[in-house]
Amino acid sequence: MKAELNANRLTSLTISLVKFSLFLFIFIIGFFLSAIKLPDHLIIIADSLPEGTINFKLQNRILLIIFMGILLLAFGKRYFHFFSITPLKKKETYFWIIGLLMTIILLQQQPLSLYILPLSVIEYVQLFFILCIVVPIEEELLYRGLLILVPSPKFRYVTLLISSLLFAFIHASFFSSLLVGLALGILSIRFRNILVPIVAHSIWNTFSVFF
């Protein structure tokens, strides 16, 4: 009986590790899609922001969102519950979002100063579309969705650390990005939902544009 129980536990652990390895492999493909430099003649979707502005690789990000959408449909309705809007209807959700974002600001210990970018109205619209819609959706699907929500909840703290470190490595400011990654990961774990960290990410990016 004891041997059978141990065998079942080992089998369960093996299956979980195989699943996590699969999700990690998919993550690598997704990361490749977001990072690869496409030849100019293949770039159909691009922003018209002035040179010197961050290269957002808009088409790469949209391709990644499409890739993740195809995977979601391929798995059927298994992960649809992560996209429930129910948490967004609760005040508690926004207390968590504001509380965690305020904590990041306090931990950074940097003075805040208003900064207005020298952009036209059209360029601001593009900037906000990319930073507040495309980037949060793309990065949350990849880092919080695929690495935290999809794997078994028993590994949630390990995947939280892994996803936060990977998220920090792709951004310029490692410490600040690590804090943001941890906060967004905590939100995804707390609510078992991807829309909550997407909203929080959008709010943070909006704040970061001006401060």
* Residue 10: count of CB within 10 angstroms of its CB: 10
pLDDT at 51 over 80: no
pLDDT at 105 over 80: yes
Q: How confident is the model at residue 4 (pLDDT cuts 50, 70, 90)?
A: low
Q: How confident is the model at residue 85 (pLDDT cuts 50, 70, 90)?
A: very high
Cα 168 from Cα 165, distance rounded (Å): 5
Instruction: Tell me the per-residue pLDDT of 23-35, one tens digit each, with 9 for 90 and over.
Output: 778 888 998 888 8
Classify each residue of 28-58 as buried b or exposed e, where b means 16 or more C-beta atoms within 10 Å of its C-beta. eebbebbeeeeeeeeeeeebebeeeeeebbb
Cα 184 from Cα 97, distance rounded (Å): 9
| pLDDT value at residue 20 | 72
pLDDT at 18 over 60: yes
Q: How confident is the model at residue 109 (pLDDT cuts 50, 70, 90)?
A: confident
Query: What are the CA-CA distances from residue 85 to residues 72, 81, 90 (Å)?
Result: 17, 9, 10
Instruction: Tell me the per-residue pLDDT of 144-191, one tens digit each, with 9 for 90 and over.
Output: 999 999 888 888 999 999 999 999 999 989 999 999 999 999 999 999
| pLDDT value at residue 1 | 55
Q: How confident is the model at residue 9 (pLDDT cuts 50, 70, 90)?
A: low
Is-contact 112 207, C-beta < 8 A? Answer: no
Arithmetic mean of pLDDT over the chain = 88
Q: What is the pTM of this model?
A: 0.89
Q: How many domains does the chain have?
A: 1
Q: Which residue did the predictor score with more confidence, 6 or 88?
A: 88
- With pLDDT > 90 as the criterion, what percentage of the chain qualifies? 56
Q: For the ranges 66-80, 92-106, 135-149, which has the lowest average pLDDT?
A: 66-80
Q: How confident is the model at residue 194 (pLDDT cuts 50, 70, 90)?
A: very high
Q: How confident is the model at residue 132 (pLDDT cuts 50, 70, 90)?
A: very high
Is-contact 176 104, C-beta < 8 A? Answer: yes
In one-letter notation, the amino acid at residue 22 is L
| pLDDT value at residue 54 | 62
| pLDDT value at residue 77 | 86
Q: CB under 8 Å to 35, separation ≥6 — which residues?
A: 57, 60, 170
Domain ranges, residue 38: 2-210
